[in-house]
Structure 1
Amino acid sequence: MDMKPVLAILPPKLRESTEGLRTGALEELRLRAGRPPTAVLDGKERILPGCAEAVTSRMLEEIVSAATNRSCYSAEASLREGYVTLPGGHRVGLCGTAALRESRIQSLRELSSVSIRIARQVSCAPPELLRRLDASTLILGPPGSGKTTLLRECVRSLSDGGSRVGLVDERGELAACRLGVPQLDVGAQTDVLTGCGKSEGIYLLLRAMNPQWIAVDEITAPEDIRAMEEASYCGVRFLATAHAFSPDELRRRPLYRRLRELELFQRLLILSPDKHVTMERMA
Structure 2
Amino acid sequence: MLQEVMQVLPKSIEEAASRYIHSSANYLEEIRIRVDRQIEFIVNNRPYFHPYIATKEDALFILNKLSHFSIYMIEEELKKGYVTIEGGHRVGLAGKVITENGRVKVIRDVTSFNIRIAKQKIGIANKLIPFLHERKWMNTVLIGPPQTGKTTMVRDLARIMSLGVAEQRIQPVKVGIVDERSEIAGSVKGVPQHTFGTRLDVLDSCPKAEGMMMMIRSMSPDIIVVDEVGRQEDCDAVLEAVNAGVHVVMTVHGYDIEDLKKRPTIRELLNLEVFQRFIVLSNQNGPGTIKTIYNEAHKRIYTQQAVEGDVI
TM-score in terms of structure 1 length? 0.90
Q: How big is the shift at 1:171?
A: 1.0
Q: How big is the shift at 1:75?
A: 2.1
Partner of 1:276: 289
Instruction: Write the mapping of 1:71-220 to structure 2, written as runs, cut at 5 A.
Output: 71-123=70-122, 125=124, 127-130=126-129, 132-133=132-133, 134-161=137-164, 162-220=172-230
From the superposition, tell whether residues 19 and 195 of structure 1 become closer, same or farther in structure 2 (CA, over 3 Å). Answer: same
Please state whether the residue corresponding to 1:58 is helix, strand or coil: helix
Q: How big is the shift at 1:188?
A: 2.5
From the superposition, tell whether residues 248 and 110 of structure 1 become closer, same or farther in structure 2 (CA, over 3 Å). Answer: closer
Do the aligned residues in 2 keep the contact of 1:26 with 1:39 (CA within 8 Å)?
yes
Q: Deviations over 1:92-115 (max 9, x none)?
A: 211110111121212111112112
Do the aligned residues in 1 keep the contact of 2:29 with 2:43 (CA within 8 Å)?
yes
From the superposition, tell whether residues 205 and 116 of structure 1 become closer, same or farther in structure 2 (CA, over 3 Å). Answer: same
Give the Cα–Cα distance (whole angstroms) in 1 for the partners of residues 282 and 249 of structure 2.
18
Do the aligned residues in 1 keep the contact of 2:119 with 2:152 (CA within 8 Å)?
no
Q: How big is the shift at 1:191?
A: 1.1
Q: How big is the shift at 1:90?
A: 1.5
In the alignment of these two chains, the number of paired residues is 279
Do the aligned residues in 2 keep the contact of 1:142 with 1:273 (CA within 8 Å)?
no
Q: Deviations over 1:219-264 (max 9, x none)?
A: 2122222212222222101001122322233334332221122222
- Match for 2:187: what amino acid? C
Partner of 1:37: 39
Q: Deviations over 1:19-68 (max 9, x none)?
A: 223232322221111112222223222222xx53x222232021111122
Q: How big is the shift at 1:187?
A: 3.2
**Is residue 66 of structure 2 the alignment partner of residue 56 of structure 1?**
no
Do the aligned residues in 2 keep the contact of 1:37 with 1:47 (CA within 8 Å)?
yes
Unaligned runs of 5+ in 2: 165-171, 298-312
Please state whether the residue corresponding to 1:171 is helix, strand or coil: coil
Do the aligned residues in 2 keep the contact of 1:40 with 1:46 (CA within 8 Å)?
yes
Do the aligned residues in 2 keep the contact of 1:57 with 1:111 (CA within 8 Å)?
no
Partner of 2:309: none
Please state whether the residue corresponding to 1:240 is helix, strand or coil: strand
Root-mean-square deviation (CA, aligned residues, Å) is 2.0
Give the Cα–Cα distance (whole angstroms) in 2 for the partners of residues 13 and 58 of structure 1.
10
Q: How big is the shift at 1:201?
A: 0.8
Query: How high is the sequence identity, in percent, across the aligned residues?
Result: 35
TM-score in terms of structure 2 length? 0.83
Do the aligned residues in 1 keep the contact of 2:178 with 2:212 (CA within 8 Å)?
yes
Do the aligned residues in 2 keep the contact of 1:57 with 1:110 (CA within 8 Å)?
no
From the superposition, tell whether residues 217 and 107 of structure 1 become closer, same or farther in structure 2 (CA, over 3 Å). Answer: same
Partner of 1:250: 260
Unaligned runs of 5+ in 1: none
